Structures are given as C-alpha cells and as structure tokens.
C-alpha cells in the first residue's frame, strides 16, 4: 500500500506533531509527513519538523486579506506537497467553509476533551469545574463548525483527586500522543468510512468495558 502523505498544520509547541513524526519514522507505519505548515513563524513545532528533515512552510495569516485568501494559500501549499490527509495539531485558526468542504473527510483535528463535551478552549479547567470523573481527547473529521464532526478515535483518562488544570492537561496530552497517530494509521490503512456523519472502521475492536472512577475499594 502506498504511504499516505500528511500535511500537519500547527501554531505552537507541536507535541502532537512530534508524536506523528515519531510514529511515521517507524518503518511499518503507513503514513509520512510531507509538509508542516504554521501560521506563526515562532511556532516551536517548526524546529521539530526541521530536525526530522521535514519540509516546512510559514504562512502568516496577517499577510492575507481575509480568511479565504489565507485558506487558499494553505490549500496551494498542501497541493504542492501532494498531501492526501490534513492533520490539524494545535492549529489556532478557524478554516473557512470552502477549505473545509474541499478537504471533506481528508481533514482531521485533535481536541483535548471527550467531544461533544467541552468544545472550545480551557477544556481541562471546565472539566474540573464540572466535576466529571473522566475526560480525554477526541480525533474527529473537521466540519465548518468548530470542534464538530464525525468522531474517529477517543481516549479516556480519569480525573484524579487533587488534579489541577496542569496535571490533568499532562495526562490528556499523553493520551493525545497515542490517539492521533492511531487515527492516522486507521485512515492510512483504508479502514475508515464516514457514513451518515458517523465513522465506521473495519476491524475496530473496543477495549474491555467499564472503568469505574472512583473505585470503591
Ligand atoms: C493539544 O492539546 C490539542 O488537543 C489542541 O491543541 C493542543 C496542541 O498541543 N488542539 P501541541 O502543539 O500538539 O503540543
């Protein structure tokens, strides 16, 4: 099977990008990163890409007259690099409807909550405030509405007594680094279909049922 070419869009530190770089470096992994695009020249993730010998492009959103022009430039860069799947990894710009429709079902995002709970920012603070016993992360196909779209992979992590925003964020981030490459792999292996806005995955197996939090022993 030909390897799937990824375009990874970032705005910041790029730890999810790093997780993808690390998995793509494994010989049996069916995807490779063709280009990393950032809307910010100071994104730390750019150095991670350069270190791995991956092409980078900086497309500063402020240089463009409106969202459509910026999106179009991003689209041209992705096409130039022959990208087949776009991965948003901490990309802090909303992409317009035209771009999202053009890349429909070839555009995924990772979000640090169990969607549809806690869309938007400050997910960990809001999870603590709500008193949920589990939170986690979601990899989903992107639709025009923010943090909405068919769900590919979720990872659940427990909220522990004494958790702060930082401890919870670290636990979820470690789960993100497993979930994102896993979702990419399922797509690259051709096992994923979107049917009626839900994701069907060939040969998907669920984990053992029911984790209680807290335990009562
Ligand atoms: C992650 O928490 C991701 O879920 C969210 O933005 C953050 C990006 O972190 N969309 P990093 O740049 O990958 O370290």
C-alpha R_g of the chain: 17
Q: Give the C-alpha separation, 202 to 213, whole Å.
A: 30
Q: Give the C-alpha separation, 86 to 106, whole Å.
A: 6
135 CB under 6 A from ligand 1? no
The reported pLDDT for the residue numbered 1 is: 59
- Bridge partners (DSSP) of residue 10 are 38
Does the active-site annotation cover 140? no
- Bridge partners (DSSP) of residue 201 are 192
Annotate 189-212 with DSSP letters as a single string: TT-EEEETTEEEETT-----S---
Length of the chain: 217
Q: What is the dihedral of CA 30, 180, 148, 204, to 10 degrees?
A: 70
Select which of 61, 81, 111, 140 is catalytic. Answer: 111
Q: Whose CA is nearest to atom 9 of ligand 1?
A: 90
- Bridge partners (DSSP) of residue 151 are 140
Cβ contact 175:157 at 8 Å: yes
Chain centroid offset of residue 215 CA: 31
The reported pLDDT for the residue numbered 209 is: 85
138 CB under 6 A from ligand 1? no
Q: Tell the residue number behind the tokens 């949920």, with chain if given.
A: 132
Q: What are phi and psi of 55, to 5 degrees?
A: -60, 140
The whole model's pTM is what?
0.97
Mean pLDDT, the chain cut into blocks of 10 residues (217 residues total): 92 98 97 98 98 98 96 98 98 97 98 98 98 98 97 98 98 98 98 98 93 94
Q: Whose CA is nearest to atom 1 of ligand 1?
A: 90
Cβ contact 138:154 at 8 Å: yes
150 CB under 6 A from ligand 1? no
Q: Whose CA is nearest to atom 6 of ligand 1?
A: 90
Q: Whose CA is nearest to atom 8 of ligand 1?
A: 90
CB atoms within 10 A of CB 178: 14
The reported pLDDT for the residue numbered 2 is: 78
Q: Give the C-alpha separation, 89 to 111, whole Å.
A: 9
13 CB under 6 A from ligand 1? yes
């Amino acid at each position: 099977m030909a390897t799937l070419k990824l375009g990874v869009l970032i705005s910041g530190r790029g730890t999810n990008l790093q997780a993808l770089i690390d998995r793509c470096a494994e010989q049996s992994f069916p995807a490779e990163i063709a280009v990393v695009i950032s809307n910010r020249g100071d994104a730390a993730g750019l150095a991670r890409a350069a270190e791995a010998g991956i092409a980078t492009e900086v497309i500063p959103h402020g240089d463009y007259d409106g969202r459509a022009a910026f999106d179009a430039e991003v689209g041209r860069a992705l096409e130039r690099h022959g990208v087949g799947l776009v991965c948003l990894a901490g990309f802090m710009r909303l992409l317009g409807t035209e771009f999202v429709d053009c890349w429909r079902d070839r555009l995924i995002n990772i979000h640090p909550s169990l969607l549809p709970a806690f869309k938007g920012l400050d997910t960990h603070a809001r999870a603590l405030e709500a008193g949920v016993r589990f939170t986690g992360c979601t990899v989903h196909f992107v639709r025009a509405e923010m943090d909405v779209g068919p769900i590919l992979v979720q990872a659940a992590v427990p909220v522990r007594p004494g958790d702060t925003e930082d401890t919870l964020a670290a636990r979820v981030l470690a789960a993100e680094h497993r979930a994102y490459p896993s979702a990419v792999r399922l797509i690259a292996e051709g096992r994923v279909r979107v049917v009626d806005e839900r994701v069907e995955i060939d040969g998907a197996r669920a984990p053992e049922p029911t984790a209680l939090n807290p335990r009562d022993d």
